[in-house]
A and B are shown apart, each in its own frame.
Chain A
Amino acid sequence: MKIADQNTKAVDLVREALDKAHRFQDEYHVFTWINDDAIQAAEEIDARIARGEEVGRLAGVPYALKDNFLSPDGETTASAHILEGFASPVTATAVRRLESEGAIMIGRTNLDAFAHGSSTENSYFGPTKNSKDAQRVAGGSSGGSAVAVALGIVPFATGTDTGGSIRQPASFNGVYGLKPTYGTISRYGVVAMASSTDCVGFFANDPDDIDLLMSICAGQDSHDLTTLPDFYAETEVDDGPKRIGIIKDFDNDAVDPEIRSALKRQIEQLQANGHTIVELDMPALKYALAAYYIIVPAEISSNLSRHDGIRYGFRSEQSDNLGDLYCNTRDEGFMPENKRRIMIGNFVLSSGFYDAYYLKAAKARTLIINEYTKAFEQCDFILAPVSPNPAFELGSKVDDPVAMYLEDVMSVPLNLAGLPGLSIPVGQTASGLDLGLQLVGPRRSDRALLHFAKKLKEEA
């Protein structure tokens, strides 16, 4: 990506990004808010460069921020009515780190409200359109961020991935998307969804760009006690041949034939370049989606109980007592998918159902983690489809929650295990839709994944 210096003006980089953001907004609906004040921030960077000051590794680089990161620039809505009007006095640690290196946020990107969804159609503000076909979905939940990078508006964008929300939209739009190891980047100042799986990550057109962003953002934060000591900078990488695992059960008739062919082509390329293919038998993974849609709603029902209309955001005008105020605010403020997840969460945690659902899912999670541990004794990385289908048509799954959930069947398992996953672009369908595959590694292999993806790009 282009960094501002004596020859490249931050103002030019930011102005170009803003122009594109405005030009594409009507057709693709990428942003919930465009930050026209970004020009002033760029002028400050240029002035500092002119004075010979140190301006950071991302000086003047325009970026797009998923609208579930808190910062005082614009309102943080998480694309939900219940957060409309919420101008945060707090800055997310990830935002602070990026901006302390000179990055400039040019807009907040659209998402499924509270990141609940796989298409960005659950946004209160309406869907984001796919970058290759505006009749199709962007993917989700970080659809706006993926499309912002795919359309060339910005060189990078932030995302969050709880069950595929970075990797799936990355694959639907032909860009790289990294979901890091759980705990790598602080979640302080990120709207909480499911605390045991939520991760901050990035979209970019190049693995090297994500590598730089990871070097900047990885590490412990006293505001988020789930953050790991910074392993990223110290990870050794090498160019030797790798053992690549392929999950047998993921190659089935429910997967689109063009995705299966893309996987086959990638396997052939890997073998031609001296890597070894290992077939993996992972029978518990087929239960990962069911376990995910128990554990994650359970955590959602707890995390979203804080949205009550009292302290910030939207408050219903309809109520004459406090109980009605809570119920009316939440009923009017949440999207239907938010309500379904909160209610399922309260169902699986409630007396009489806890053992059969929540506890059972927590045990299934152990089995899934054990399968990955065993798999990584046999291989270095796993290569798999991100989702069973390329970008689907707008409106085709919105009335059937289970059909929408099934799009996550191959992306959620690694979230339950806390593993890193990188979506890599691998060409297009005959009709011109983007195809992606995911590389999955053991915990803390994020840098090795990016390095390997770079090598694959060179070998292609």
Chain B
Amino acid sequence: MEVNQELVQHLADLSHFALSAEESTRLVRDLGGIVEYISQLDELDTDGIEPTYQVFEMENIWRPDEILPQEADRAALLALTKETLNYQIKVPKVL
């Protein structure tokens, strides 16, 4: 798998990064080296093997749909953001 400028741009878009031209060039090299390394997994025979996504057999646990007391209230959480208006977080225009 070749990592080129086009792939780096695609991954930057998926990752929400505004990369500079210099960073993109560097990432072609760095990501290329990493992809080459991880591609060695091709050698390993995994036919018929089930994948593992978590190490303990866990199942989803449901709880009653009740509001529980929270450590941080709305005011404490809103205090973390840069700008608020009428108890809402203010952000720049979408378009």
Contacts and interface: CB of A to CB of B under 8 A. Distances in A.
B61 interface: yes
B61 A89 contact: no
A327 interface: yes
Interface in A334-370: 334, 336, 339-340, 342-344, 346-348, 350, 353, 356-357, 359-367, 369
A196 B26 CA distance: 30
Contact of A291 (B17, B41, B91, B92): B41
A301 B11 CA distance: 11
Contact of B15 (A86, A315, A343): A343
Nearest to B49: A363
A320 interface: yes
Contact of B77 (A89, A290, A359): A89
Interface string B73-95: 00011011110000001011111
Given A325-B92, A328-B18, A360 B34 contact: no
A368 B23 CA distance: 36
B93 to A, nearest CB: 6
B34 A344 contact: yes
B72 A89 contact: yes
Interface residues of A, number: 70
Interface string B51-79: 11111101001000000000110001101
A312 B76 CA distance: 11
A364 B52 CA distance: 8
A289 B12 CA distance: 24
A287 B54 CA distance: 18
A347 B52 contact: no
B52 A369 contact: yes
Contacts of B35: 344, 347
Contact of A346 (B14, B39, B46, B77): B14
Contacts of B53: 196, 362
Contacts of A363: 46, 49-52
Contacts of A343: 8, 11-12, 14-15, 17, 27, 31
Contact of A357 (B11, B38, B94): B38
Interface string B16-27: 111100010011
A284 interface: yes
Nearest to A196: B54
A402 B61 contact: no
Given A87-B80, A340-B34, A228 B56 contact: yes
Contacts of A347: 7, 11, 31, 35
A312 B80 CA distance: 5
A287 B41 contact: yes
A417 B14 CA distance: 30
A284 B38 contact: no
Interface string B31-48: 101110111111110100
Contacts of B40: 287, 290
A294 B43 CA distance: 15
A315 B37 contact: no
A281 interface: no
Contact of B71 (A91, A225, A319, A320): A91
B58 A226 contact: yes
A320 B93 CA distance: 7
Contacts of A346: 11, 14-15
A201 B35 CA distance: 31
A322 B91 contact: yes
Contacts of A331: 17-19
Contacts of A365: 51-52
Nearest to B48: A363
A226 B60 CA distance: 10
Contacts of B77: 89, 311
Interface string A321-332: 111111110110
Interface of A: 86-87, 89-91, 182-183, 196, 225-226, 228, 284, 287, 289-291, 293-294, 301, 305, 308, 310-313, 315, 319-328, 330-331, 334, 336, 339-340, 342-344, 346-348, 350, 353, 356-357, 359-367, 369, 400-402, 405, 416-418, 443
Interface of B: 1, 7-8, 11-12, 14-19, 23, 26-27, 30-31, 33-35, 37-44, 46, 49-56, 58, 61, 71-72, 76-77, 79-82, 89, 91-95
Question: What are the nearest 7 A-B pairs in CB distance?
Answer: A418-B55, A362-B51, A89-B72, A363-B46, A327-B18, A312-B80, A89-B76
13 contacts: A225-B58, A291-B41, A311-B80, A313-B80, A320-B93, A331-B17, A344-B31, A346-B11, A356-B42, A361-B38, A362-B52, A366-B50, A405-B37
